[in-house]
């Protein structure tokens, strides 16, 4: 399995996202410029210029026509995927951390960081079908506050009835997206002990996977927040992904970037580790990055995955045929 090395960013990667068909890959980094790549051969298609801060997160609409990006410059922007043109800018009082389109792309959930006297918050915005016309507004339909510290991820629950958030206080919360009430919180005994860095849903939305600095990833039931599985590793987990095809989860991480120079790159454990989703056993690893892995994404067809590192590279891996026959 030879990786395709995609060099288009000058700064560490923060997020990777495939579109629904799996032919396009969007990458976000700390260099202000989200980038679009062909997902089969790693060719760079173009960039989205306009932010002037690190871009933390992105999401793409179901028909691949619209991109939403959240940035440390305190804005969230909507883009035309094809032309790269800015359609609309939401302005906030603090850096935007996570963005996620709802099912149907009519709404977006956006989280903002604590900043100055502002606490972290989750905002729900209405997204118009043609945001470049005058019918797009910046008003929030709902603003949720409460969790202490940064909210690193917020995603929509099944049928947009709920919003699921996780972050520095290491608790996963399910909010009612109509009323803004907290419906459920994860059990502190069974849950993560440190900051939750990443959260991803299964393709059918029935369960979700969280990664944390406590060196573990956990699989949860989306509706009840029952803990199903725990995957233990020996490094902080920065990124998690679930295979849509096989029962595999992949975890990426590594020690903090500030400690990298003191260790050999082989000892830094900068590899993407694959685990059996059911048996919780490690089945293999993919090495290559010269720094912690900050972003992971599986192609929706399950036949390739990509990883983004602190080293500024995106590595695109197409699986060999024998990967699909792994037996434990």
Per-residue pLDDT in tens (0 to 9) along the chain, 328 residues: 889 999 999 999 999 999 999 999 999 999 999 999 999 999 999 999 999 999 999 999 999 999 999 999 999 999 999 999 999 999 999 999 999 999 999 999 999 999 999 999 999 999 998 888 788 899 999 999 988 899 999 999 999 999 999 999 999 999 999 999 999 999 999 999 999 999 999 999 999 999 999 999 999 999 999 999 999 999 999 999 999 999 999 999 887 656 655 555 555 568 999 999 999 999 999 998 889 999 999 999 999 999 999 999 999 999 999 999 888 7
Sheet of 173-176: strands edge to edge? 151-156, 162-167, 173-176, 182-185
CA–CA separation, 140 and 268 (whole Å)? 43
Q: Are 298 and 26 in contact (CB under 8 A)?
A: no
| 137 CB-near residues (< 8 Å, 6+ apart) | 126
Calculate ∠ Cα 254-256-257, nearest 5°.
100
Paired with 68 in beta bridges are: 59, 78
Note the pTM of the prediction, 2 decimals: 0.93
Q: Are 97 and 112 in contact (CB under 8 A)?
A: yes
Sheet of 304-309: strands edge to edge? 4-7, 313-318, 304-309, 293-298
Q: Are 34 and 55 in contact (CB under 8 A)?
A: yes
| 297 CB-near residues (< 8 Å, 6+ apart) | 16, 17, 18, 25, 241, 305, 306
Q: Are 289 and 315 in contact (CB under 8 A)?
A: yes
């Amino acid at each position: 399995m030879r990786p395709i090395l995609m060099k288009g960013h000058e700064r560490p990667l923060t997020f990777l996202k495939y579109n629904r068909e799996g032919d396009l890959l969007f990458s976000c980094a700390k260099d202000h410029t989200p980038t679009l790549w062909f997902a089969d051969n790693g060719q760079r298609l173009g960039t989205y210029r306009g932010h002037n801060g690190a871009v933390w997160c992105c999401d793409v609409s179901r028909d691949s026509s619209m991109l939403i990006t959240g940035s440390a410059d305190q804005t969230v922007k909507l883009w035309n995927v094809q032309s790269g043109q800015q359609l609309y800018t939401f302005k906030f009082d603090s850096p935007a951390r996570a963005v996620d389109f709802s099912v149907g792309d009519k709404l977006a959930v956006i989280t903002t960081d604590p900043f100055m006297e502002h606490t972290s918050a989750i905002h729900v915005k209405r997204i118009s079908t043609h945001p470049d016309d005058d019918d797009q507004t910046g008003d929030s339909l709902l603003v949720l506050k409460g969790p202490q510290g940064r909210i690193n991820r917020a995603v929509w629950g099944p049928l947009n009835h709920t919003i699921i958030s996780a972050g520095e206080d290491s608790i996963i919360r399910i909010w009612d997206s109509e009323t803004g009430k907290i419906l459920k919180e994860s059990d502190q005994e069974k849950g993560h002990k440190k900051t939750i860095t990443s959260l991803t849903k299964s393709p059918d939305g029935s369960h979700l996977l969280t990664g944390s600095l406590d060196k573990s990833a956990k699989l949860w039931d989306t509706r009840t927040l029952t803990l199903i599985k725990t995957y233990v590793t020996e490094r902080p987990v920065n990124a998690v992904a679930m295979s849509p095809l096989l029962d595999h989860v992949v975890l990426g991480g590594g020690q903090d970037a500030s400690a990298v120079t003191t260790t050999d790159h082989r000892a830094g454990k900068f590899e993407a580790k694959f685990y059996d989703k059911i048996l919780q056993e490690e089945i293999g690893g993919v090495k290559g990055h010269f720094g912690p892995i900050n972003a992971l994404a599986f192609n929706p067809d399950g036949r390739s995955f990509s990883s983004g590192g602190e080293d500024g590279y995106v590595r695109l891996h197409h699986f060999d045929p024998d990967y699909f026959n792994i037996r434990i």
